[in-house]
Amino acid sequence: MKTAVHSEIGKLEGVIIHPPGSEVENMTPENAERALYSDILNLSIASKEYAQLAGVLRKVSSVFEVKSLLKDVLQDEKVKGYLLNEVCLTEHIGSCNQLADIKADVLANLLIEGVVLEKTNLTNYLSNERFLIRPLHNLFFTRDSAMGMNDHMLIGKMANPVRERESLIMETIFNHHPNFETQTLNAGKPSDGILVNRKSTIEGGDVQIARDDIFVIGTGVRTSTQGIDFIIENIKQLKKEKHHIIIQELPESPESFIHLDMVFTFLNTNECMVYPPVVFGMSRFRTIHLEIENGKVTKIEEFPNIPAALKKLGMDLKPISCGGNSDPWIQEREQWHSGANFFAFAPGKVIGYQRNVHTIEELNKSGYEVLAATDVISGKVSPDDYKKCVVTIAGSELARGGGGARCMTQPIRRAQINW
């Protein structure tokens, strides 16, 4: 499969996911904050809810799982050696020699679920750490570690060290798995004369492809301005024709604003989901339009909000409000549980949490038929029979992890849209 992501809404043809496993339970209240959680999840319930998302995706697209892909690439001893070396260097582990002879399928599990620290010497005995290699608690949010940008896959540079191995794994998969044909750009490594600032961070939750020539990117606690500068430099080098980046500053708190897709997502060729207080509210958070052509930044200007900037570029989007328009408290409650975080698997066909009832009602008022994920999976209904629909998945437990349907999906191929 050749990777190609030229929009947020083109018909989904390939997507990478990771069903949450024991790595989610290898967490205590004491280390939950370090793991970037505000609470610990009940895996048995979260797994059932996640199965609804995965089941819907398998009805509409080719679906790949991280663990299976990782097992495949680890069959190559050179690739295995490279990845283990990178993990040891990145996570300041003295040696990974004890892992070198482990079979690929077992090693893939360990790199995701964690390697227990053996208390075989004084240092280890006195250590408060349970793991030599920590579990990847956030891996089921596959969106952040790599993102499709037209024909390239941009490998993320995570803002928190606890997530760096996710990017290492995805880069190894895209560079070595025979199923994929792509070119990778790594936001954490210098390439083709483009230097990387040590403050550079980029996560997929902040990067949205509006159109081939328009990227909408959030900057806040997870994606730095230096990270966006890395994208700018690559566009200057790779593209001669005119391209646009719309940058949205994000609040640093609360934690529900960590990524742009928690306050703004694309739904259709002419509709978007917004959290009004951040997208339209009068605040100090700026919306900046940056134009690039022939290897140069030709324009930098400010707009009142993202939809206004997109309209100037020929994309006139009707905003639909997360939580509806009647009560700011309802908007705030539903945004907290990823009410603005929708994943489009085709134009006008999206997936989101059923718990955000006011948001779902608002979509229904705009012509979106409400379909239960269980009905789609069983074949009782089909999204193909509707021009617009919202497929609702259970989210009483998953939402407590701090992300929604877009966070849990990494599209690698979408059909082109005839704009």
| pLDDT exceeds 90 at position 147 | yes
Higher pLDDT, 254 or 374: 374
Cβ contact 287:308 at 8 Å: yes
Q: What counts of helices (H) and strands (E) characterise the chain? A: 14, 20
pLDDT confidence band for 31 (50 / 70 / 90) = low
Q: How confident is the model at residue 418, as a pLDDT?
A: 87
pLDDT confidence band for 123 (50 / 70 / 90) = confident
pLDDT confidence band for 401 (50 / 70 / 90) = confident
Mean pLDDT along residues 320-336? 96
| pLDDT exceeds 70 at position 341 | yes
Q: Six-digit token pair at 168?
A: 């290492």
- In angstroms, the CA 138 to CA 35 distance is 8
Mean pLDDT along residues 103-116? 94
- In angstroms, the CA 164 to CA 91 distance is 8
Mean pLDDT along residues 106-111? 96
Cβ contact 141:401 at 8 Å: yes
Greatest Cα-to-Cα distance within the chain, rounded to the nearest angstrom:
65
| pLDDT exceeds 80 at position 96 | no
Mean pLDDT along residues 199-212? 96
Q: How confident is the model at residue 185, as a pLDDT?
A: 92
Helix (H, G, I), strand (E, B) or coil at 273: strand
Q: Six-digit token pair at 110?
A: 């360990």
Angle at alpha carbon of residue 118, lines to 112 and 119, rounded to 5°: 150
Q: How confident is the model at residue 357, as a pLDDT?
A: 98
Q: How confident is the model at residue 386, as a pLDDT?
A: 98
What residues have CB less than 8 Å from 394, skipping those under 6 apart?
48, 49, 52, 353, 354, 355, 373
- Summarised one tens digit per residue, pLDDT across range 227-251 is 999 999 999 988 889 999 999 999 9
pLDDT confidence band for 158 (50 / 70 / 90) = very high
Mean pLDDT along residues 174-190? 92
pLDDT confidence band for 29 (50 / 70 / 90) = low
Q: How confident is the model at residue 35, as a pLDDT?
A: 47
Mean pLDDT along residues 126-144? 90
pLDDT confidence band for 36 (50 / 70 / 90) = very low
- Summarised one tens digit per residue, pLDDT across range 287-307 is 999 999 999 999 999 999 999
3-state helix, strand, coil in the chain (%, to 5): 35, 25, 40
Cβ contact 57:131 at 8 Å: no
Cβ contact 9:418 at 8 Å: no
Mean pLDDT along residues 53-79? 98
Kindly report the pTM of this predicted structure. 0.95
Q: Tokens 């079979």 appear where?
A: 103
- Summarised one tens digit per residue, pLDDT across range 347-356 is 999 999 999 9
Cβ contact 222:167 at 8 Å: no
Mean pLDDT of the chain: 93
- Find the range with the poorest average confidence among 59-63, 80-84, 238-242, 381-385: 238-242
- In angstroms, the CA 65 to CA 388 distance is 28
| pLDDT exceeds 80 at position 409 | yes
- Find the range with the poorest average confidence among 38-42, 88-92, 196-200, 320-324: 38-42
| pLDDT exceeds 60 at position 17 | yes
pLDDT confidence band for 41 (50 / 70 / 90) = confident
Distances (CA, A) of 76 to 2, 64, 70: 22, 19, 11
| pLDDT exceeds 80 at position 32 | no
- In angstroms, the CA 244 to CA 270 distance is 18
- In angstroms, the CA 95 to CA 81 distance is 12
What residues have CB less than 8 Å from 34, skipping those under 6 apart?
162
Q: How confident is the model at residue 10, as a pLDDT?
A: 98
| pLDDT exceeds 70 at position 38 | no
Q: Which domains does the chain have, with CATH numbers?
A: 12-414 (3.75.10.10)
Q: How confident is the model at residue 37, as a pLDDT?
A: 53
Mean pLDDT along residues 5-14? 98
